[in-house]
């Protein structure tokens, strides 16, 4: 597709999304810690999207996208593919809007995420991440049933919804009378990064925004360097199950190449360290994929000394067994 034909959400679309999700999504606070600031040598504002409804930012985009469906579309139901957080967001949004939801979930998705999507009333269909193509499965389902497919990131309404996270950050900074120098955002397909970048850049045009990815799944970092979308070659070998999309979304990359700075990466061990740090210093439960921005912050703090940095903690849906092992020092 020619990028000139892409529908890219703007600040107006994000403001409209904010009005749609108001009262349903949690308006998460900005959190500071003097101890963290003094240890890292900079001023950090955390945006704890682990406190969001369904435990990650994904509810924002899902609710916005589903709110825009017309009566006939709602009656036909929706279908989605997700390793977990998008599944929960979509399932809960569908429940609230009384829409029938079917979700294709890889067999190796964390039990907590799948259980929550099921609890919201969604029909769950498991597939094998290594042998089956989830998009083909969903396509076939869509053709057969007429259900509307909700893409996890390559959808302007989803991106506008995720952008409300950035809009809230921008509003809170305006109220504080402060300006952020830098923002770190975990990136899988890049819907959150794109939406947040549009909202933040609108108010703070000089901010540096970094995508953060698991090492080996750095399709964004490489795509930004190459100036075109690159694919990951590895599949399913990171603890950061939420961040394993195989390439940047078309729309989100079109936004990102304009608005993002250098992409950053962290190892699984650095993500686990960040989980332990959030446990000890912030008292927040993070999942591996939700901790990578914090991991990158700790890794690069020395370079950014004295700056004001926003760090998005994108999710907290982690199985208790894994969390207990991470606290014990293992992954």
List the catalytic residues. 58, 314
User: In this structure, are residues 248 and 256 in contact, taking their beta carbons and an 8 Å threshold?
Assistant: yes
Q: What gap in Å lies between CA 238 and CA 331, rounded to an integer?
A: 11
Closer residue to a copy of itself in complex, CB, 283/305: 283
Q: By CB under 8 A, is residue 323 in contact with a copy of itself?
A: yes
Q: By CB under 8 A, is residue 29 in contact with a copy of itself?
A: yes
Which of 6, 11, 16, 51 is the binder for a copy of itself (CB under 8 A)? 51
DSSP state of 306: T
Q: By CB under 8 A, is residue 127 in contact with a copy of itself?
A: no
Pick the stretch among 23-31, 77-85, 123-131, 222-230 that binds a copy of itself (CB under 8 A). 23-31
Of residues 228 through 267, those in contact with a copy of itself by CB under 8 A are none
Binding footprint of a copy of itself, residue count (CB under 8 A): 31
Pick the stretch among 76-84, 127-135, 295-303, 320-328 that binds a copy of itself (CB under 8 A). 320-328
Closer residue to a copy of itself in complex, CB, 33/261: 33
Contacts of 29 (CB under 8 A, 6+ apart): 48, 51, 172
Q: Is 19 left (phi over 0), alpha (psi -120 to 50) or beta?
A: alpha
Q: By CB under 8 A, is residue 101 in contact with a copy of itself?
A: no
Q: What is the DSSP string of 155-197?
A: SHHHHHHHHHHHHHHHHHHHHHT---SEEEEE-SSSHHHHHHH
Which of 17, 18, 44, 55 is the binder for a copy of itself (CB under 8 A)? 55
For the CB of residue 35, give the shortest distance to a copy of itself in the complex, in Å: 7
Q: By CB under 8 A, is residue 50 in contact with a copy of itself?
A: yes
Q: Pick the closest to residue 150 from 63, 232, 274, 224 (CA basis).
A: 63
For the CB of residue 317, give the shortest distance to a copy of itself in the complex, in Å: 8
Q: What gap in Å lies between CA 297 and CA 293, rounded to an integer?
A: 6
For the CB of residue 53, give the shortest distance to a copy of itself in the complex, in Å: 6
Closer residue to a copy of itself in complex, CB, 149/279: 279
Q: What gap in Å lies between CA 195 and CA 251, rounded to an integer?
A: 10
Name beta bridge partners: 208.
182
For the CB of residue 26, give the shortest distance to a copy of itself in the complex, in Å: 7
Closer residue to a copy of itself in complex, CB, 285/309: 285
Per-residue H/E/C for 26-48: CCCCCECCHHHHHHHCCEEEEEE
For the CB of residue 316, give the shortest distance to a copy of itself in the complex, in Å: 4
Which of 144, 280, 305, 306 is the binder for a copy of itself (CB under 8 A)? 280
Q: How far is CA 263 from CA 37, 246, 260, 306, in A?
A: 23, 16, 8, 21
Of residues 190 through 229, those in contact with a copy of itself by CB under 8 A are none
Phi, psi at 13, each rounded to 5°: -65, -35
Binding site for a copy of itself (CB under 8 A): 24, 26, 29, 31-35, 48, 50-51, 53-55, 112, 276, 279-280, 282-286, 316, 320-321, 323-325, 327-328
């Amino acid at each position: 597709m020619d990028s000139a034909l892409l529908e890219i959400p703007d600040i107006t679309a994000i403001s409209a999304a904010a009005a749609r999700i108001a009262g349903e999504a949690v308006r998460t606070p900005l959190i500071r810690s003097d101890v963290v600031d003094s240890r890292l040598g900079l001023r950090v504002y955390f945006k704890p999207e682990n406190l969001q409804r369904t435990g990650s930012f994904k509810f924002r985009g899902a609710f916005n996208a589903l709110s825009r469906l017309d009566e006939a579309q709602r009656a036909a139901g929706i279908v989605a593919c997700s390793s977990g957080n998008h599944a929960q967001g979509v399932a809960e949004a569908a429940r609230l809007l009384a829409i029938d939801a079917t979700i294709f979930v890889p067999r190796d998705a964390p039990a907590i995420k799948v259980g929550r999507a099921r609890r919201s009333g969604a029909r769950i269909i498991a597939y094998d991440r290594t042998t089956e193509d989830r998009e083909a499965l969903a396509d076939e389902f869509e053709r057969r049933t007429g259900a509307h497919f909700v893409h996890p990131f390559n959808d302007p309404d989803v991106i506008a919804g995720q952008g409300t996270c950035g809009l809230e950050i921008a509003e809170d900074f305006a109220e504080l009378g402060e300006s952020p120098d830098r923002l770190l955002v975990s990136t899988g397909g890049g819907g959150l990064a794109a939406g947040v970048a549009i909202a933040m850049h609108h108010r703070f045009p000089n901010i540096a925004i970094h995508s953060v990815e698991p090492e080996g799944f750095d399709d964004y970092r490489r795509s930004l360097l190459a100036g075109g979308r690159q694919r990951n070659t590895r599949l399913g070998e990171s603890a950061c199950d939420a961040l394993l999309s195989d390439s940047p979304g078309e729309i989100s990359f079109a936004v990102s190449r304009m608005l993002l700075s250098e992409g950053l990466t962290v190892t699984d061990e650095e993500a686990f360290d960040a989980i332990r740090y959030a446990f000890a210093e912030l008292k927040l439960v993070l999942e591996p994929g939700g901790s990578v921005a914090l991991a990158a912050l700790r890794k690069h703090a020395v370079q950014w000394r004295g700056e004001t940095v926003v760090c998005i903690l994108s999710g907290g849906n982690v199985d208790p067994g894994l969390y207990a092992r991470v606290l014990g020092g293992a992954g």
